[in-house]
Amino acid sequence: MNKMLQSFAKTRLSLAALLAVICLSALAVPASGEVAIQEVKSDKGVTAWLVEDYSVPIVSINFAFEGGSTQDPAGKEGLAELMTGLFDEGAGQLDSDAFQTKLDDAGAEMRFHAGRDAVSGSMRMLAEHKDEAFDLLRMAIVSPRFDAAPLDRIRAQIVSGIVANQRDPEAEAQLKWTEALYGDHPYSRPDEGTEESLKSITADDLRAYHKANFARQNLHVAIVGAIDAETVKRQLDKLFGDLPEKPDLKPVAHVDWKLGQAVSVDYELPQTSLQLAYPGVAREAPDFFAAYLMNHILGGGTFSSRLFDEVREKRGLAYGATSSLVTHEHASGLVIQTATRSDRAAETLGVIRDVVRQMAEEGPTAEELAAAKQYIIGSYALNALDSSSAIASTLLSLQMDDLGIDYMQRREALINAVTLDDVKAAARKLLTTEPAVLVIGPPLTEGDKG
């Protein structure tokens, strides 16, 4: 019993130490936002971007394998999502309980996530326990067990969430919305799968997905913290060196959103949710920043945008109205969202359409563009570089988007180079198409739909 209590106390102490250091890590980023990034390449060709930071004794690693839920076989939707729930449920010679105990003893925090375009993972660890933590991460990445008991338990948890969502009008609406926008493209499928597809997934399916998708060629890695380049070089081969060199990915086609349609999910609710979908712009497109600045002025600036001003401030129709650019690997778009009283939904939709129409026809003012540039440049360090974990996440995103290791140094100049005419052109390009409109709530009349 004493040994059990000592083990429990040690676990609590390790986790408490990690949490304390994580809280302090937010103080480690220079106020200027300048980050010195090194490119480290291992003997087996695994590349990582590294930011050394010894101000706190913590190491963060973020990584991603391109592929994601688009690689789920037909009829086995939810495979990637289910797999990510099992990486800390046993690996190598350690079953679920043994793996979790060693993870706690190492004072490490490990997470995995399946998105549409990639399976990603991360770990935060105390620098003094990095060898033990990295060894556990290596086992999870290279030799997950997919034992029957954890597989059934995690599957049941996901199915329980799916069943619960069937009673949620918002969840049902999002399924109809993605199906309407994407048609039969893999993006239309729910990442978590369905009750039926999850029941069909076996441990062999998980192993086959892991073998096909986890490879060195489709891997991106970012590391931030109290660790040097030579140590990173060695750890990269320990973590990823035993994976296959090349993945076996199915090709995924580019898809344009199916616009100009109305999607309604009729519920007698006191509040109606509205979404409008317009064309977007790819992240690598030359006019991306023109579109980004236009979107910020339209609805991305939250408390300073035109949509917020017209919908919330002037008319009190909603708590907020926002717009955002969607930049998936194989699709892009611009989405406007708000929620309002059902008896004022038609009025709100009309106001949004008017704001969009004015932006498309006239574009922003010079003053709006100058304010948007100032905010977007100034807020970058606060939003993307405010902790070691945030820096690691940002570095990984830059790699996934193929923006280059010097992007942070070039970003301000790229934004400042955008002219008012560029932004007006982006507004005309994206906002003159008839949008797809989603209404969740009591049905609107044809006249109300604008």
Q: What is the pLDDT of residue 271?
A: 92
Fold of the domain built from segment(s) 32-240: Cytochrome Bc1 Complex; Chain A, domain 1 (3.30.830)
Q: What is the pLDDT of residue 387?
A: 85
Q: How far apart are CA 308 and CA 304, in angstroms?
A: 7
Kindly report the pTM of this predicted structure.
0.90
**Mean pLDDT, each 10-residue run in order, the chain (450 residues):** 38 47 48 79 97 96 98 97 97 96 94 97 96 98 98 98 91 94 96 96 98 98 98 98 97 97 91 97 97 98 92 96 97 97 96 98 98 95 84 96 96 98 98 97 65
Q: Per the structure block, which two tokens stand in for 37?
A: 């990034």
Q: What is the pLDDT of residue 267?
A: 87
Q: Give the CA-trace dihedral at 390, 392, 394, 397, to 10 degrees.
A: -140
Query: Candidates 3.40.190.10, 3.40.50.1370, 3.30.830.10, 3.30.420.40; correct CATH number of 262-441?
Result: 3.30.830.10
Q: What is the pLDDT of residue 3?
A: 35
Q: What is the pLDDT of residue 111?
A: 97
Q: What is the pLDDT of residue 382?
A: 82
Q: What is the pLDDT of residue 32?
A: 44
For the chain, residues classed under CATH 3.30.830.10 are 32-240, 262-441
Short-list 289, 307, 294, CA closest to 380: 289
Short-list 210, 68, 81, CA closest to 139: 210
